Chains A and B, each alone.
Chain A
């Protein structure tokens, strides 16, 4: 069947491939990679894209209007930003007079700032009859309209006078609308496409709700990666083939009333030996879907179970990313199955509604029975006018004089400035406010350089969670210097830890690594090593058998009767005393983990289990080291000790655990990369090669790899025993500094946890985050990338001492050592897709938590080991859970590059992917001039210089002096170390 398709590629196949871009691009949940959920719309400008996608996918493009109005009230959006934006967007139209009310600018400004509550039909009648809408003026009136109320206050009977005035205004609005003549009925926004949509619109029957339970069960069983004990039979035949085999039995008809015809349809497909594509074409033909309709119809079919079709597509494209690699998974197979089920269900539905003809014509039959939409009533139309009159402070006498053309003009104006447009403007203003505070800070923050050579240096991942860690480390140890780069440190590899069953790729998802690196045990005591291995195996075997036994009848009965109550011990320990449980786990782990290991980095001839080579050649290692030193600008400024620190996150009861890991490691943990990098940079052969290329590493310089667990803030150092004697004191000093820094960082992080009291002692913070990581009951082990908003590519001196509230991805780059922009080009090519993906994933998951995100975690149910469903059964939920994003602010990423404008625009123009992102404003781009320190933002008209709007506050002491006791977002400030304190610690 498959070979058949290969010979005669169907036009359908190409169409399905194209439509697949509409689906979420989220792979298996255990390797979570952040991506832009709207990648299919990246060719459109951001605002247009989100609005179109919202329409197509039934999601929200921006926050609700009320949420923005809350932000206006709390100062997260400034009214001045709204005014500036309107000015910019209206241009010359701003001053025009609209319907003799006033300038367009004033009208729009009043409506955007104060809004017109949406109401129509019965809801409006209720509001008019049951609320005070017709007895009081709005209480949130702008200043100029308040005059009306003020004059009222001088009356004898202000309440009665106000009621009469409001009533008169409302009557005037109704009369004005009446004068203007009737409106046509609105065209139905989205005409039904699928048979199911027509059926639902006319009769209220939803065949999706009939077929989805069975379809989801089948698909989940087919795709299962090892959760069910019995694998589905006939899986080697592909989705469609397997379905035909299993559902051809007459038993299948019992799946529900809708399935009565299913075995017949299945047998028909098998008898005709149809391939999946042929089956789709046949089904569409039977349903009377013409070829001109294919695109819209199939898109709607795919989107009906967006999550499941998405994962099918992901496995089809990257079968190497799931454990069960022997599966044939195709989107066309799924579509074919889906259409078979639908035909069966439609046949049943047709009987229910008394339709006797063929399915091909049922849509015409339904079309005749669809009730048309009715035009808006005069009440509906008068309602917005009533509000406009109040917002603009118009008296009833003015409204009474409105002519029909004026009403029409105003109606057109309100049509342009509809709810969506208002949300768009408010959103843009919101982003502007956030962005401009950063610009202000960067322009005004005085660059800080070290007066003497640094005692040691530390290279981190560019992750925004390291922003606070670096800041605290520099505060603890002013003599240290920190850098950051993509957290795989240019070591792209398949890594297999000493206690890992399988290798996993550790590099950005765009790269398919070639090199395989194993961690091997290097214990001097062979016997102890073997005993540990045995213990580990025994524990694993026991765990697995308990897992299986608990699901089987007889073993289960014995297990439960004899030992069941023992479960109370871990239960109470893990739920009531999570911190103790974390201690206990650590003790247990160190007793069975290999005591000493090494990475096998050197190239050898063994055939690797995955990838093309085992290990790296010396030349490859030199290239890796060289590139990192050049990218970060470290080059010849190396101090005697350089720490290389990757990161990962370990938490319990969290299906989204991998989403907290390192994005640059493809949702893996970056420790092994840091360790490999350090080992390469310490290798004398590598140094020799580099020296020949005029990149000398001093013999006294030592690199140490480490990994930070961003959840419990534990920092693990690798290959401690190899540190040369002369460097050991320095390593000790660095470790002590890191130990203090991680406590302080935990403390800063705790301020965002609602369950932690505001004035939490720093000492307890570390214990708190450790408990959190091991707490079965904790749905927010950490907040991950939430609140990310900025990315700054430049020298640390620009941001050192600047409090950025864990919101900025920081990338080290030295513009003074990059004459042709080559380094900037490769940094941006590697970094921008990753950070933009993270930022947009958070944006959409926050803006529509149930549409783009996966909703609340509480009812999540892991399905097929691939993703989560809501409760008993649902579509597979892509995106991030609400508990991960709840403190986020949805704003597009602002990337500030330190560099001259011309060079930055040249670099951006050279990379089509980044250029598209920037041109369509999926990200904001600004330049910080390395010499003058002037900042300019890229707008449609080119770079525009930014003049600071607010002064940058300076806080004396350390970061805690600024954040302690505060819960919400904090604006950037300069942290100026206390001279006295610095002297004491130095």
Chain B
């Protein structure tokens, strides 16, 4: 029975990294960590199974040529208002992306197995990688908002934990915190969109959102409702895919081991937002204002990243901004409505950038080889940039790109500092109130400042 086998294949594909995560994570929790050899073999087996299952699912689905289908695996919880079901929505896009993600994850797992050999955090790394792959596949295949949200969170959490992988140094930890903070904003937007969707449409099923324009209108998703939900989704996407104004976290995320930077910020995680946008295209079509917003954000990001990548003098930042350039363009393609091209672009970019990121330490070797083959060092020129603008503007543009658009300090000033100030004030208020209620002497300002330190 083709239906049954497809459902099984998809379940095995998603379940195998989930089981790997459970085994590795559980082992660590119980202080029974598996040896490196066992961890490596288990990871290889699990990735291989996921690859094989999802690729065959994709092939079977393509061969049978049926329309989108909702695979249901029962309810996690039920209530009168409707429960939370484990559902996957399979169509060519979702299965294609899931299969690609599984292949890429498999290659990265094989790479990491040797790259992290003898590393004290080997086990932790693979547990997080399994968590990430599970999350990524859930995002790709999600059939309802809850599944999507769980996947989205797993991707975000594992990402932040891998940025802080080398937690014995301060820089990775503080950068991981920064990444995590941006992800929380994105998650909040996502959650709001989900709640709103349920409220407006009365269902959590994404087949409405992703199923096609008719479905969306039928569910009453139009006009202001559609625009609000779409804008919230775009905020979620912007946070996850490092679009403006959130781009500042992307170079900071390069703290983890090379393969984790590659799979997250070169290949999969950075495209999760684009993919979500692609899936919710029917919704976007109901909300022209949101489409314009996506187009503007995408093109601004592409422009900003294209300029910035050209002055980065370390290979990982240079690649990070190069990735971001393409991500911006993909978002524009979606906003314009070139869905097929956007999907091909996304898939091609994920593969190509992965190779570039994984061989980033080889840059000296590569450039040297190219130089020898071409017979001379290629001349570097600023091209149009050099000739078209005045010296003053050139210097300012260079400074702008060198300081990465001053995004970090803008975010610090606009968001972080007011937030911290507000938090301090609330603490003070809290202390004062408690003091008043308990009729104790209110704390002096100085004492509170000391506490803050």
Contacts and interface: CB of A to CB of B under 8 A. Distances in A.
Interface of A: 29-30, 203-204, 214, 217-218, 220-221, 223-224, 226-234, 245-247, 249, 251-252, 254-257, 259, 323, 499-502, 536-537, 539-541, 543-544, 547, 550-553, 556-557, 559-568, 570-572, 575-576, 652-655, 657, 754-755, 775-780, 856-865, 869-874, 883, 886
Q: List the 6 closest pairs (A to B, CB-CB), nearest first.
A: A564-B348, A540-B373, A871-B255, A858-B257, A540-B374, A224-B313
A233 B398 contact: yes
A105 to B, nearest CB: 39
B360 interface: yes
B448 interface: no
B80 interface: no
A562 B369 CA distance: 25
Contact of A858 (B119, B363, B364, B365): B119
Given A221-B402, A246-B398, A872 B175 contact: yes
Given A557-B329, A780-B117, 10 more contacts: A226-B367, A228-B318, A256-B408, A557-B326, A559-B348, A564-B345, A565-B351, A566-B351, A653-B361, A857-B361
Given A560-B349, A776-B358, A886 B403 contact: no
23 contacts: A204-B453, A214-B403, A221-B311, A226-B367, A249-B392, A254-B410, A255-B403, A502-B377, A541-B373, A557-B329, A561-B345, A576-B110, A777-B114, A856-B166, A859-B166, A860-B361, A861-B360, A862-B315, A863-B314, A865-B364, A871-B166, A871-B316, A873-B314
A570 B313 contact: no
Contacts of B113: 777
Given A214-B403, A229-B310, A564-B347, A550 B302 contact: no
Nearest to B100: A565
Given A233-B394, A556-B325, A776-B111, A872 B255 contact: yes
A109 to B, nearest CB: 34
Count class of interface residues, chain B:
35 or more
A969 B356 CA distance: 38
Contact of B114 (A29, A755, A872): A755
Contacts of B358: 571, 575, 653, 776-777
Nearest to A592: B373
A870 B252 CA distance: 11
Contacts of B252: 872
Nearest to B349: A560
Contacts of B396: 249, 251
Interface in B383-408: 385, 391-392, 394-396, 398-403, 406, 408
A471 B261 CA distance: 44
Interface of B: 103, 107, 110-119, 165-166, 169, 171-172, 175, 251-259, 302-303, 306, 309-318, 322, 325-326, 328-329, 341, 344-345, 347-356, 358-378, 380, 382, 385, 391-392, 394-396, 398-403, 406, 408-410, 412-413, 453
A540 B326 CA distance: 24
A230 B311 contact: yes
A570 B172 CA distance: 31
A543 B378 CA distance: 12
Given A871-B256, A872-B175, A575 B349 contact: no
Contact of B302 (A249, A256, A553, A575): A553
A501 B374 contact: yes
A551 to B, nearest CB: 4
A547 B348 contact: no
B16 to A, nearest CB: 18
A537 B374 contact: yes
A651 to B, nearest CB: 8
Contact of B313 (A564, A776, A863): A863
A228 B313 contact: yes
Contacts of A502: 371, 377
A219 to B, nearest CB: 9
Contacts of B382: 230-231, 233
A572 B315 contact: no
A662 to B, nearest CB: 17
A571 B326 contact: no
Contact of B257 (A230, A246, A652, A859): A859
Nearest to A242: B395
B409 A255 contact: yes
Contacts of B165: 859
Given A230-B398, A255-B403, A755-B117, A499 B329 contact: no
Contacts of B119: 856, 858
Contact of A553 (B306, B365, B371): B306
Contact of B352 (A228, A537, A539, A550): A550
Contact of A501 (B166, B361, B376): B376
A540 B372 contact: yes
A576 B311 CA distance: 34
Contacts of A860: 258, 361
A131 B363 CA distance: 51
B354 A567 contact: yes
B356 A550 contact: yes
A858 B313 contact: no
Contacts of B171: 870-874
Contacts of B372: 499-501, 540
Q: Which of A230, A233, A553 has the most CB of B within 10 A?
A: A230
Q: Which of A203, A654, A861 has the most CB of B within 10 A?
A: A861
Contacts of A567: 351-352, 354-355
A783 to B, nearest CB: 12
Contacts of A657: 364-365
Nearest to B103: A568
Contacts of A559: 348, 352
A771 B114 CA distance: 12
Contacts of B373: 499, 536-537, 539-541, 543
Contact of A872 (B253, B309, B344): B253
Contacts of B313: 217, 220-221, 223-224, 227-228, 863-864
A227 B326 contact: no
Nearest to B345: A561
A961 to B, nearest CB: 28
A144 B51 CA distance: 64
B283 to A, nearest CB: 24
A653 B366 CA distance: 9
A544 B369 CA distance: 10
Nearest to B385: A230
A846 B392 CA distance: 49
B383 to A, nearest CB: 8
Given A560-B326, A777-B115, A862 B360 contact: yes
A218 B404 CA distance: 12
Contacts of B118: 754, 883, 886
A775 B114 contact: yes
Contacts of B111: 575, 776-777
A442 to B, nearest CB: 34
Contacts of A536: 373
Contacts of B326: 553, 556-557, 560
Contacts of B400: 251
Q: Which of A252, A323, A550, A865 has the most CB of B within 10 A?
A: A550
Contacts of B309: 229, 551
Contacts of B322: 550-551, 556
B366 A862 contact: no
Contacts of A869: 314
A563 to B, nearest CB: 7
A873 B111 CA distance: 24
A869 B251 CA distance: 13
Nearest to A556: B326
Contact of A862 (B345, B363, B380): B363
B395 A228 contact: no
A245 B395 CA distance: 8
A499 B368 CA distance: 11
B377 A501 contact: yes
Given A571-B354, A776-B359, A541 B349 contact: no
